[in-house]
């Protein structure tokens, strides 16, 4: 059984915040660097630069002059390493055998602080980025999520693709990267997490030594989002596909909303497991889809509650009606206590399983501090889940499931003004 000892949060002399989480029962360790800079911090002229810069971080430093030098050193210790960009943050991590963690810290700290942003490499990487955009557009299950976000958030940075647009990518120059790096990558905006089989004191000394070049900076606030939606919004992207991909959902709560725990449990009840209402009704009883799943996600000032489904082309209107009907049932009738308990146990079980690995533990603690400005221990998180009541679930459903918050995105062989789909959608 893997056990987390008490985590430690400290602010180093540079202003960098460091979280150490010792774990028993594992021989791995993870170093994770999280920066509060994502695509919502961009303007339209540089849309995609947060993600592009994440790629460029791995292209070389003075000490490790190219991608191969970085990769060979990480591969020589058998590390798993990568990076990711979202709308609100960017992360860089390496997970390895715990006796090799100092090497991982050396490499991650070097690329994070000393990347060259070589102009020639930027030019070459533009092709890679554009192919990544093409890959997303060729995968309707991914593309439909981007269309859904654009429908829900409109011409706001939250509604733009994280990867950007190909025309904008082509126009980015080295100075754009230098300017963005200098104004977003600094100590007050960065958290380092070390989790796993570590000595916290030795780990803190190593991080202090390796991040000496971390810069000071002034926090930048992104453009706030204020919804103007007053009626259901629908967007169809016409494309020949063997099945129709849809995301249907509602604008919902920001991440610190007091009802967020109830909303997440509601997503498990509706479509978060293989015994959930939508999985059973849409897939098992009616055979309308192979994949159907629901999630609830919170951002700084807004959020969403959405269901993805890949459905039979000639049954799209039926699938929309069935999905929305299941939402209406939650509003009308209280969820049985037994069903809520099952959702709680499912949520806590998955949570505990995730916290067996050092990379998930690092993400759990670091993500909370960066995005929520607080840290709840696993026990505190589970206590919050346990407190949610049947009444909370129904109140959340009545509050969130309203027509003026409803959005639908579709990728499939339909015209944008398809009457059958519009009729089913507007019946809510």
Return the structure tokens found at 254: 């920001």
Return the structure tokens found at 237: 């992207």
* Length of the chain measured in residues: 428
Please state at what angle helix 378-387 crosses helix 337-354, rounded to 10 degrees.
170
Q: Which domains does the chain have, with CATH numbers?
A: 3-210 (3.30.830.10), 233-425 (3.30.830.10)
Nearest one of 43, 371, 33 to 183, comparing CA atoms: 43
- DSSP, residue by residue, 306-329: EEEEEE-GGGHHHHHHHHHHHHHH
Taking only the tens of pLDDT, the chain with its 428 residues reads: 345 668 999 999 889 999 999 999 999 999 999 999 999 999 999 999 999 999 999 999 999 999 999 999 999 999 999 999 999 999 999 999 999 999 999 999 999 999 999 999 999 999 999 999 999 999 999 999 999 999 999 999 999 999 999 999 999 999 999 999 999 999 999 999 999 999 999 999 999 999 988 888 888 889 999 999 999 999 999 999 999 999 999 999 999 999 999 999 999 999 999 999 999 999 999 999 999 999 999 999 999 999 999 999 999 999 999 999 999 999 999 999 999 999 999 999 999 999 999 999 999 999 999 999 999 999 999 999 999 999 999 999 999 999 999 999 999 999 888 899 999 999 89
Nearest one of 88, 144, 140 to 307, comparing CA atoms: 144
Residue located via tokens 């026990």: 379
- 295 with 306: CB under 8 angstroms? yes
- 188 with 216: CB under 8 angstroms? yes
The answer to whether the predicted template modeling score (pTM) of the entire model surpasses 0.85 is yes
Distances (CA, A) of 87 to 36, 165, 171, 254, 257: 10, 15, 21, 14, 19
């Amino acid at each position: 059984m893997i056990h987390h000892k008490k985590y430690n949060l400290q602010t180093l002399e540079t202003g960098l915040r460091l979280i150490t989480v010792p774990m028993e029962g594992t021989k791995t360790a993870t170093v994770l660097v999280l920066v509060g800079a994502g695509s919502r911090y961009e303007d339209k002229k540089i849309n995609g630069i947060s993600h592009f810069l994440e790629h460029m971080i791995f292209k070389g430093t003075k000490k490790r002059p190219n991608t191969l030098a970085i990769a060979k050193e990480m591969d020589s210790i058998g590390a798993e390493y990568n990076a990711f960009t979202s709308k609100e943050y960017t992360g860089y991590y390496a997970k390895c055998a715990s006796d090799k963690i100092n090497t991982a810290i050396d490499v991650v700290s070097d690329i994070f602080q000393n990347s060259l942003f070589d102009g020639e490499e930027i030019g070459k990487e533009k092709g890679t980025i554009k192919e990544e955009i093409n890959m997303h557009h060729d995968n309707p299950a991914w593309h439909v999520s981007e269309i859904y976000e654009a429908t829900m958030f409109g011409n706001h940075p939250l509604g733009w693709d994280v990867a950007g647009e190909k025309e904008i990518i082509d126009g980015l120059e080295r100075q754009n990267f230098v300017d963005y790096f200098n104004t977003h990558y600094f100590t007050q905006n960065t958290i380092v997490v070390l989790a796993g089989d570590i000595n916290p004191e030795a780990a803190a000394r190593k991080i202090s030594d390796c991040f000496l070049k971390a810069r000071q900076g002034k926090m930048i606030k992104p453009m706030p989002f204020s919804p103007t939606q007053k009626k259901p919004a629908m967007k169809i992207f016409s494309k020949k596909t063997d099945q129709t991909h849809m995301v249907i959902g509602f604008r919902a709560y920001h991440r610190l909303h007091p009802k967020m725990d109830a909303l997440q449990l509601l997503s498990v009840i509706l479509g978060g497991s293989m015994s959930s209402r939508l999985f059973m009704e849409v897939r098992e009883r009616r055979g309308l889809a192979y994949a159907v799943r629901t999630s609830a996600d919170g951002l700084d000032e807004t959020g969403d509650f959405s269901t993805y489904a890949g459905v039979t082309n000639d049954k799209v209107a039926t699938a929309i009606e069935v999905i929305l009907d299941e939402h209406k049932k939650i509003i009308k009738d209280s969820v049985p206590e037994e069903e809520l308990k099952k959702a709680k146990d499912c949520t806590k079980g998955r949570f505990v399983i995730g916290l067996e690995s050092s990379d998930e533990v690092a993400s759990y603690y670091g993500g909370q501090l960066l995005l929520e400005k607080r840290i709840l221990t696993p026990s505190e998180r589970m206590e919050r889940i346990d407190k949610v009541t049947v009444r909370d679930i129904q109140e959340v459903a009545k509050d969130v499931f309203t027509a003026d918050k409803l959005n639908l995105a579709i990728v499939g062989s339909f015209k944008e003004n398809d009457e059958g789909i519009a009729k089913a959608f507007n019946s809510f």
